[in-house]
């Protein structure tokens, strides 16, 4: 099986190469692509890979291609590559809400895979992580409504955003002036910024609207009532969320705790807390502080954390490939 990674020098592209190696995907070759050629610009299994410039012609002949290079390149190139029979797993937002394409989070909705589908979008990082935590609850007692505040790491905005944050931290420690914010709506060091993306006429940011729409699709709950406030926080990796939800039927904290304990991809903390720094570099979603507002009843709250570069992007993409291999849609 020949695999290509587009955007191999970005945070997600680097993580994709790392996860492909860690999970021992049976590839006969792995090739790296980017916006321009770079000799030895990527690394896989301890060896340097030359990065080739991305275009549809150069991407012919691969069995599976991961795209992690942004919305516009994906929109232009992915359909051309998929038309030739290659499976494309795309980390951009270009195809996530296409009604003809399943939005797969393997722990949650593996049954939604369509054998004829060639383009597999990878969901918004926060929506993926939240869906892993909400999936077991939905299965156990249904999900009617949720309100959530997300606390999103700076690396979710890419390498340049992470570097801006680190520069701002250095400036704060030396009492220097803040660098002008480019990746964020306000300075991020020693601060929180309650805006991720432009805010629409209804008062929702781009990120908030993505989370709402994609959760409905992943969980197969098109009528799910939700409200989300997305906040950027001075954390390097791993997103967190405080989620307040209403189930369809009356249940108990004990039943929901049991569902979370037994769920694939979830680490449930019966006692204590979990923080984003603890889950950096991990693939599981961690859930803590599950509580009942009425027990037995329908109203509950919980806290969750997950590494958005791994489970929220790279690992979820590789898990989709594993699922396609298992079902014979992609041949070894």
Q: What Cα–Cα distance (Å) separates residue 192 from each residue in 83, 217, 231?
A: 43, 29, 7
According to DSSP, the residues that pair with 121 across neighbouring strands are: 90
Residue 265 and residue 151: Cα distance in Å, rounded? 20
Is position 125 annotated as part of the catalytic site? Answer: yes
What is the rounded CA–CA span in Å between residue 308 and residue 125?
A: 5
Could you give the CA distance from residue 195 to residue 213 in angstroms, rounded to a whole number? Answer: 18
What are the backbone dihedrals phi and psi of residue 113, each rounded to the nearest 5 degrees, phi first?
-65, 130
Give residue 51's pLDDT. 94
Check 125, 173, 202, 269 and give the catalytic one: 125
Residue 46 CB-density burial (10 A; 0-12 exposed, 13-18 middle, 19+ buried): exposed
Q: Please state the three-class secondary structure of 180-211 as a single string.
A: CCCCCCCCCCCCCECCCCCECCCCCEHHHHHH
Q: Is 239 a catalytic residue?
A: yes
pLDDT at 176: 81
Given the residues 86, 239, 286, 305, the one annotated as active site? 239
127-308 shares the fold of 2-123+313-326:
no
The residue written with tokens 């806290």 in the block is: 303
Task: Identify any residues that bridge with 299 across adjacent strands, giving them in sequence order.
Answer: 246
Q: Average pLDDT of each block of 10 consecutive residues along the chain (332 residues)?
A: 94 96 94 92 93 91 92 92 92 95 97 93 97 98 98 93 90 82 88 95 96 98 97 96 98 97 98 97 97 92 97 98 93 76
Superfamily (CATH) of domain 2-123+313-326: NAD(P)-binding Rossmann-like Domain (3.40.50.720)
Domain boundaries, the chain: 2-123+313-326, 127-308
- 277: closest CA among 241, 240, 246? 240
Beta-carbon count within 10 A of 328 CB: 9
- DSSP lists the bridge partners of residue 52 as 33
pLDDT at position 7 is 94
Superfamily covering domain 127-308: Dihydrodipicolinate Reductase; domain 2 (3.30.360.10)
As a whole number of angstroms, the distance between CA 89 and CA 73 comes to: 14
Q: What pLDDT sits at residue 59?
A: 92
pTM for this entry = 0.94
Residue 329, both tokens: 């849609």
Quote the pLDDT of residue 182: 87
Phi, psi values for residue 232, rounded to 5°? -90, 130
């Amino acid at each position: 099986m020949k695999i290509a990674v587009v955007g191999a020098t970005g945070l997600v592209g680097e993580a994709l190469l790392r996860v492909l190696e860690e999970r021992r995907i049976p590839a006969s070759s792995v090739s790296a692509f980017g916006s321009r050629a770079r000799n030895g610009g990527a690394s896989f299994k301890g060896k340097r890979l030359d990065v080739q410039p991305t275009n549809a012609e150069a991407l012919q002949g691969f069995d599976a291609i991961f795209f992690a290079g942004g919305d516009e390149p994906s929109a232009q190139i992915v359909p051309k590559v998929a038309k030739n029979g290659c499976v494309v797993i795309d980390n951009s937002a270009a195809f996530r809400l296409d009604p003809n394409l399943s939005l797969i989070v393997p722990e949650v909705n593996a049954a939604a895979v369509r054998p004829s589908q060639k383009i597999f979008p990878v969901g918004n990082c926060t929506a993926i992580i939240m869906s892993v935590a909400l999936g077991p609850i939905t299965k156990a007692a249904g999900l009617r409504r949720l309100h959530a505040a997300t606390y999103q790491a700076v690396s979710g905005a890419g390498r340049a955003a992470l570097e801006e944050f680190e520069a701002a931290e250095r400036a704060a420690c030396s009492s220097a002036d803040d660098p002008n914010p480019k990746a964020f709506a306000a300075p991020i060091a020693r601060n929180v910024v309650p805006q991720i993306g432009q805010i629409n006429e209804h008062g929702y940011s781009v990120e908030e609207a993505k989370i709402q729409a994609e959760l409905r699709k992943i969980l197969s709950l098109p009528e799910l009532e939700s409200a989300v406030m997305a906040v950027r926080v001075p954390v390097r990796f791993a997103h967190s969320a405080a989620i307040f939800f209403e189930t369809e039927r009356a249940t108990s904290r004990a039943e929901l705790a049991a569902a979370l304990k037994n769920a694939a991809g979830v680490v449930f903390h019966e006692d204590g807390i979990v923080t984003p720094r603890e889950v950096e570099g991990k693939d599981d979603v961690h859930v803590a502080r599950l509580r009942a507002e009425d027990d037995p009843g329908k109203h509950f709250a919980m806290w969750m954390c997950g590494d958005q570069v791994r489970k929220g992007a790279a690992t979820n993409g590789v898990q989709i490939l594993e699922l396609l291999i298992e079902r014979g849609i992609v041949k070894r």
